[in-house]
Amino acid sequence: MTKPSKEVEKIEQLLADPWAVDIEELWQQAAHNPDKDLRKRITSTSRRYFNAMRNNDGKHEPVKNAENYLYGTMQNLFGVWWNKQANEKYRATHPDNF
């Protein structure tokens, strides 16, 4: 079995203690990440978050805990992105399975 990369180890540490996550640090790392897909996902997730925060049209229930909502949206974003990366890597190393 191969040793996980430093990025994977860091993600696992963050998921082990979710309240120790420094969103600002993750944001800075992701903003300067050369992966255009990740930057696009962060931009759209951030827009959805801020739209939800200022939503006052009465159609939707207001966000009760902004910190939890932000954590949930970012956790979902990085989870989807990481799974996509892992899937692509697996497909590249196991082409006979597809």
pLDDT tens-digit series, residues 5-49: 776 677 676 666 656 666 677 667 767 777 888 888 888 998 888
In a domain, 4, yes or no: no
The average confidence (pLDDT) of the chain is: 80
Residue 1 scores a pLDDT above 60: no
- Let me know if residue 42 belongs to a domain: yes
What confidence score (pLDDT) does residue 53 get? 84
Write the pLDDT tens digit of every residue in 51-85: 888 876 777 788 888 888 888 998 898 888 888 88
Containing domain of residue 87, as a range? 25-57+64-97
Q: What is the pLDDT of residue 6?
A: 74
Q: For residue 19, which of 90, 75, 60 has the smallest C-alpha distance?
A: 75
Residue 2 domain-assigned (yes or no): no
Asked, for residue 5, whether it belongs to a domain, the answer is: no
> Domain tally for the chain?
1
